[in-house]
Structure 1
């Protein structure tokens, strides 16, 4: 089947964006927000139409998923369903009904299951208030199959983990390899649905979050204290 032109205005914007990626950008290559908007000057929400392609298996990375990218860049990683072909751009509604949404939030203790932050808090070092949402997480099952399960995450973690799949058999295998005492400790954390970190562990987290120059100063301070 011949591939239509991305400039064919009879096509929907999402289809044209997909064709633009294929014809102009090419898999594995980067493009900027400015280039995208220049190609579609008549479309105010072209960024959103581009993101819609992810629902059809298209992989488009930002600097959240690809550390080599700048904030204004994206990478066209992999082509998904050819949405420009007849019948390929249709999809069932994936909206989560309000009662189910409330049930998931309650089941997950109203916290982001990835980072532990709760609604009403602000991200550390920022005035940005936390907003929780429901993420669809791909989970590898014990039989090797895959299933999509729902989990509560904050908006930051939800965006950053979009392409992440959970390997449940690997997690279960690690549990089985724990000693009896370690299993008991883990069971306690699971029962309480939380874990208290020691001051040293929290300090390690603080250190890991520091920029390189500040990490050097911490190392120097430890060396100086050790020598004294």
Structure 2
């Protein structure tokens, strides 16, 4: 089926922007706000209309989701609903409001729920500071069904966690299989919403990030101590 022309003004800015992404930018390619301005000269808030496409299942990444992108770059990753077709402009999700954002950040202690880093804190071994945003997580509910729940995640964890879901009933079953001492320990961590990791655990986590050659050297160093 032949696509309508993205220059046809009868479609409105958002639909034209969708057609421009498909026809001109192409999936997997990078564009900037300046590219949008050049494509839609004199059109107010054309970049916002591009962002609106995310509510229709379009995946458009910024530097928050793709660390290889510059501050002003975006990547057209995948097309969503063909909004230019009659009756197809149905949103696949609801935009997160500022009130929801504030509530989620407050409930999550203004910390990334995946790694625990705070906004503005520097990632270990880098000069990069963390930014917090709101992520959606698909949660399978006990008794069936699933719903999207919101949580705070940093820019790094959002990239790695995209598409992640959790089965809450399976999680509860795993907790039930723990011994009473382990359940009591877990309950304490849950109550405090905090856990201090010991030196051995921190070293294990860091070991897991090492390249194969370095892991081999650590294994060689520890071998006599494990014999």
**Can you list the C-alpha shifts for 1:107-161, whole angstroms capped at 9, x where unaligned?**
2122111111113411223333323233332322223322222212223333543
Measured after TM superposition, the shift of residue 175 of structure 1 is 1.7
- Structure 1 residues 67-216: aligned runs within 5 Å: 76=77, 79-86=79-86, 88-89=88-89, 94-98=95-99, 100-210=100-210, 212=211, 215-216=212-213
CA distance in 2, matches of 1:149, 1:198: 31
Select between 89-98 and 148-157 the one with higher mean Cα deviation.
Answer: 89-98
Change (3 A) 1:126 1:12: farther
Change (3 A) 1:13 1:216: farther
Task: Report the TM-score, using the length of structure 2 for normalisation.
Answer: 0.69
CA distance in 2, matches of 1:87, 1:57: 15
CA distance in 2, matches of 1:8, 1:122: 47
RMSD over aligned CA atoms reads: 4.1
Unmatched segments (≥5 aa) in structure 1: none
CA contact (8 A) 1:64 1:160 kept: no
- Structure 1 residues 57-68: aligned runs within 5 Å: 57-59=57-59
* Equivalent position SS for 1:105: helix
* Equivalent position SS for 2:158: helix
* Equivalent position SS for 2:137: strand
CA contact (8 A) 1:60 1:76 kept: yes
Measured after TM superposition, the shift of residue 97 of structure 1 is 3.9
Task: Report the TM-score, using the length of structure 1 for normalisation.
Answer: 0.69
CA distance in 2, matches of 1:84, 1:179: 57
Unmatched segments (≥5 aa) in structure 2: none
| Matched pairs, number | 217
* Equivalent position SS for 2:135: strand
CA contact (8 A) 2:14 2:49 kept: yes
- Which residue number corresponds to residue 56 of structure 1? 56
CA distance in 2, matches of 1:162, 1:137: 8
CA contact (8 A) 1:31 1:73 kept: no
* Equivalent position SS for 2:205: helix
CA contact (8 A) 1:58 1:81 kept: yes
- Which residue number corresponds to residue 220 of structure 2? 223
Change (3 A) 1:54 1:160: farther
- 1:33 aligns to 2:34 (yes or no): no
